[in-house]
Amino acid sequence: MKKILLVYALLCSFLIYGQEKSGAKQFWENLQKQCGKSFIGEVKEGASDDTFREKKLVMHVRNCDKNTIRIPFFVGDDKSRTWVLTYKNDRIQLKHDHRHEDGSEDKVTQYGGTTTNSGSPMLQFFPADQETGNLIPNAAANVWWITLDETSFTYNLRRIGSDRLFTVKFDLTKTIASPPAPWGWKD
């Protein structure tokens, strides 16, 4: 009888307090904790002649609301890139918003993908979507992933079937002064 009561109590507790948060939801909430902060990054993987290595890399978790997080990614003086993450139906979508200095959209923009499952609190995978394949045929084999823990955020790209691998890691233990708005944004 005690076991039945214990099971009943656990079931009631589950119904009252809800199920444990999914990996996607925990990842989302952890990323939102960084909103408003900026960090320096370093290329960890990439072509040896990658020009990113020679420039200051900054991510600014600039804009967060319930379902959208926008993270401008500056490469030196180039303020053209923003990672746009959208949370919907326990999945996260990653899109790359590229702008010209005048704020107009680049012809290669809004590519990315959506997670196929809820992932984990520390890791989310984004396989290229059809829009990406239509826009950039070679990128149809892209997989992006983001890792997030208490000390670092990494953005990664692998093109399946090729040697292409890019990883930039940001140290979340050291914030820096936030940069001005990226191209196409207003302060």
pLDDT band at 2 (very low <50, low <70, confident <90, very high): low
Q: What is the pTM of this model?
A: 0.87
pLDDT(137) > 80: yes
Each residue's pLDDT tens digit, 27-75: 999 999 999 999 999 999 987 777 888 899 999 999 999 999 999 999 9
Segment among 42-51, 91-100, 138-147 with least mean pLDDT: 42-51
Across residues 88-93, what is the average pLDDT? 97
Q: Which of the pair, 9 or 62, is modelled with greater confidence? A: 62
- Ranges of beta strands (E only) in the chain are 38-45, 57-60, 63-64, 68-75, 78-88, 91-98, 111-114, 123-127, 142-148, 152-159, 165-176
Across residues 156-182, what is the average pLDDT? 95
pLDDT(109) > 80: yes
pLDDT(76) > 80: yes
Asked whether the CA dihedral 155, 22, 37, 68 is positive or negative, the reply is positive
Q: Which domains does the chain have, with CATH numbers?
A: 21-176 (2.40.128)
Beta-carbon contacts of 100 under 8 Å, excluding residues fewer than 6 positions away, are 80, 106, 183, 184
